[in-house]
């Protein structure tokens, strides 16, 4: 996970070839830390399939305004430079995993892997 600001948002998010998991937070936000911590833990399972960035909305007001971020934490998934999915507020592992699976086809890969194991 890397921390980015308005200055490097286009390069790090919009120009990225991978899906980007963006955790928008604020320092004063008490539910942001556990959500981003769970996301960090979960994203380690996805390896190089997803890029993970953290954006402090107070340090990046242009990004916050551009994507109408009024509640933190907000999770945005970008794919092909477009915001594809959005989760608002504290999130547990299950919705975070479902969100990641929806943009990486990881659930398909895991299902086929289970099938291969079961057939062996």
- CA–CA gap between residue 21 and residue 78 (Å, rounded): 7
Domain range enclosing 32: 2-119
State the total domains in the chain: 1
Q: At what angle do helices 32-43 and 93-104 cross, to 10 degrees?
A: 50
Cβ neighbours of residue 92 under 8 Å, at least 6 residues apart? Answer: 38
Supply the pLDDT for residue 40.
86
Q: What is the CATH number of the domain that holds 54?
A: 3.40.30.10
24-53 pLDDT per residue, tens: 999 999 989 899 888 888 888 888 899 999
Mean pLDDT across 81-93: 93
């Amino acid at each position: 996970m890397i921390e980015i600001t308005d200055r490097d948002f286009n390069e790090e998010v919009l120009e990225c070839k991978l899906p980007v998991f963006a955790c928008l937070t604020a320092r004063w936000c008490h539910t942001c830390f556990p959500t981003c911590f769970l996301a960090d833990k979960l994203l380690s399972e996805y390896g190089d399939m997803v890029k993970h960035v953290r954006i402090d909305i107070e340090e990046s007001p242009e990004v916050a305004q551009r994507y109408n971020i009024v509640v933190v934490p907000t999770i945005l998934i970008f794919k092909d430079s477009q915001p594809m999915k959005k989760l608002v507020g504290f999130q547990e592992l299950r919705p975070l995993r479902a969100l990641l699976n929806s943009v990486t086809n990881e659930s398909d890969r895991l299902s086929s892997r289970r099938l291969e194991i079961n057939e062996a």
